[in-house]
Each structure stands twice: as structure tokens, then as C-alpha cells.
């Protein structure tokens, strides 16, 4: 069974701090996606990484896919209250867009 | 562009009752997914449709859950009879096609509480 483990489960920080969340697996994924989910809403795609070692930046968010395509990280610089939410990583193992989600990291950024 | 629509948004039922959820995907999206998200967990794929055919239903508890996508557009997910452990948010998503790394667009979900 393929699993994605995310850490930490919870993160509570002050506005302006930096943070990194991790997504790890023993399985190889053809692509990996990061989503953000807010209460009462469905997840919204932030980024897709497909190449081992790939780094993508989205404003203050930096995403990295591990060289072996088994793990990924999300780094947020100077976090803002608007970054608050549940961050989910999801791996596509079979190439048919069948996603396996991690349990998520719940981030709270306080003013 | 309208997003994925789901109804109802909330449903409370007693165990052993039946319930149905409805999903209208984004126009033109061939692939439709139903996920179950239990509190504190990530979404788990229940079933994936490509047009009106089932691509994957390996994690659908077929003794109580059923889903259909007539005419390759709207879809319904039914639970009969419901159990306490079915309490969760049921998310519908759609994508343009089922290929690798395609973006999935999620609806707001239906929160089911089974008493």
C-alpha cells in the first residue's frame, strides 16, 4: 500500500516567520501535487512537480520534489495570516491521475 | 467559469438509513472523482469515472456504496445502509482528462453525519 506521510501535523506560527512542511513516502511517484484546503471548501491545487529535483516557486512558496521522486517539501517565506489552511500533498503513482493524499499539515499563522 | 457543484452541503441521518449525493462537474471535463475525507485525514479516492465508464472503484465499499454517471456528466453517490464510520466529507472533483499530473478541481463537499 502506498502511503504519503506529512509532517508536522500541526504548525502554529507568528506572521513573518518561515516554515517548511514535508511529504515523504517509500514509493516513487510519477508526479506530486500540493493542495491547500480551507474550512468548508474543497482542496485547491497550488503546484504540480513531475521531475526529480525540480524546484518551483509560487510567490512566497517554494516547492521541491526529491531526486528519487519519493518526497517533497513546501517552504513558505514570511508567512501571512492568509496562508492559514490545511496543506495536502498528493502523489500520482500510476500515471492515470489516481491521487493518493497525505493526511495534511494544518497551518495557523497568527497576526 | 462555474466550478464543481455539489448538493446537499450538509446531511444528517441515522445509521441504517440511505443517503445520496449529487455532483455536477465543470463543463467539458471527462473525468470525475468521488473522494471520502474523514476528519483529520486526507481525501481517499472512492471511484473514478472517465466519461460514463468506471476507471477505478477499488476502494469503494461496494456492499453499501454505489455511484453512477449517466450520460457522462452529472454523478450521484449513494450509501445504503449508512454506518457510523461513514461520517465524513464527500468531495467530488473533475479534470479535463485522466492523464498524469492533470489538475483536479474540487467541489465544496457534502458533510455527512451519521448518528
| pLDDT single digits (tens) A15-30 | 999 999 999 999 999 8
A88 CB neighbour count, 10 Å cutoff: 26
Measured distance CA(A55)–CA(A73) in Å, rounded: 10
Share of chain B above pLDDT 70, in %: 96
Query: What are φ and ψ of residue B62, in 5° steps?
Result: -70, -10
- Domains, chain B, ordered by start: 5-98 (2.60.40.10)
For A36-92, write each residue's pLDDT tens digit.
Answer: 999 999 999 999 999 999 999 999 999 999 999 999 999 999 999 999 999 999 998
- For residue A90, list chain B residues with Cβ-Cβ distance below 8 A: 42
Cell of B98: 485522466
Q: Minimal Cα–Cα distance from A17 to chain B, Å?
A: 25
Task: Tell me which residue range forms the domain holding A77.
Answer: 5-110
**Chain A interface, best mutation among B50, B101, B103, by max A CB count within 10 A:** B101
Q: Do A44 and B106 touch (CB under 8 A)?
A: yes
Residue A97 has pLDDT above 90, yes or no: no
Q: Do A92 and B45 touch (CB under 8 A)?
A: no
Tell me the helices (H) and strands (E) count for chain A, helix number first.
Answer: 0, 11
| pLDDT computed for residue A2 by the predictor | 72
| pLDDT computed for residue B103 by the predictor | 87
Say if residues A108 and A11 touch (Cβ distance below 8 Å). yes
Residue with cell 472517465: B50
Q: Which of B112, B115, B85, B106 is nearest to B20 (CA)?
A: B112
pLDDT band (50, 70, 90) for residue B88: very high
Say if residues B3 and B102 touch (Cβ distance below 8 Å). no
Average pLDDT value over all residues in chain B: 93
| pLDDT computed for residue B72 by the predictor | 83
For B20-43, write each residue's pLDDT tens digit.
Answer: 999 999 999 999 999 999 999 999
Calculate mean pLDDT across residues A3-8: 94
Measured distance CA(A75)–CA(B85) in Å, rounded: 35
Beta strand A44-49 pairing with A31-37? antiparallel
Closest-approach residue (CA) in chain B for A34: B103
| Domain count for chain A | 1
Say if residues B68 and B17 touch (Cβ distance below 8 Å). no
For B94-113, write each residue's pLDDT tens digit.
Answer: 998 766 667 899 999 999 99
Residue A93 gets which letter from DSSP?
A: S
Residue A96 has pLDDT above 90, yes or no: no
Burial class, B40, CB count within 10 angstroms (exposed 0-12 / middle 13-18 / buried 19+): exposed
Alpha helices in B13-100 (DSSP H): none
Cα of A44 vs its chain's centroid, Å: 11
| pLDDT computed for residue A1 by the predictor | 66
Q: Do B45 and A40 touch (CB under 8 A)?
A: no
- Secondary element (H or E) of residue A14: strand A10-14
Q: Do A101 and B107 touch (CB under 8 A)?
A: no
Q: What is the CATH number of the domain that holds A68?
A: 2.60.40.10
Say if residues B32 and B51 touch (Cβ distance below 8 Å). no
- For residue A98, list chain B residues with Cβ-Cβ distance below 8 A: 45, 48, 55-56
Amino acid at each position: 500500500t502506498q502511503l504519503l506521510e506529512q509532517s508536522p501535523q500541526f504548525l502554529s506560527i507568528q506572521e513573518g516567520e518561515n516554515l517548511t512542511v514535508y511529504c515523504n513516502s517509500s514509493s516513487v511517484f510519477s508526479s506530486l501535487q500540493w493542495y491547500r484546503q480551507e474550512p468548508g471548501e474543497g482542496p485547491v491545487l497550488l503546484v504540480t512537480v513531475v521531475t526529480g529535483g525540480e524546484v518551483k516557486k509560487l510567490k512566497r512558496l517554494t516547492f521541491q520534489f526529491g531526486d528519487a521522486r519519493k518526497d517533497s517539501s513546501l517552504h513558505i517565506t514570511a508567512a501571512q495570516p492568509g496562508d492559514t489552511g490545511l496543506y495536502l500533498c498528493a502523489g500520482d503513482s500510476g500515471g492515470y491521475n489516481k491521487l493518493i493524499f497525505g493526511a495534511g499539515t494544518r497551518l495557523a499563522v497568527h497576526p | 467559469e462555474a466550478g464543481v457543484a455539489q448538493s446537499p452541503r450538509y446531511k444528517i441521518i441515522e445509521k441504517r438509513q440511505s443517503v445520496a449525493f449529487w455532483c455536477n462537474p465543470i463543463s467539458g471535463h471527462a473525468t470525475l472523482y468521488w473522494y471520502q475525507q474523514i476528519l483529520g485525514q486526507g481525501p481517499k479516492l472512492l471511484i473514478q469515472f472517465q466519461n460514463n465508464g468506471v476507471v477505478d472503484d477499488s476502494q469503494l465499499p461496494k456492499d453499501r456504496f454505489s455511484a453512477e454517471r449517466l450520460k457522462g456528466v452529472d454523478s450521484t453517490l449513494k450509501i445504503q445502509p449508512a454506518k457510523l464510520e461513514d461520517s465524513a466529507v464527500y468531495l467530488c472533483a473533475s479534470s479535463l482528462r485522466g492523464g498524469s499530473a492533470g489538475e483536479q478541481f474540487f467541489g465544496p463537499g457534502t458533510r455527512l453525519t451519521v448518528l
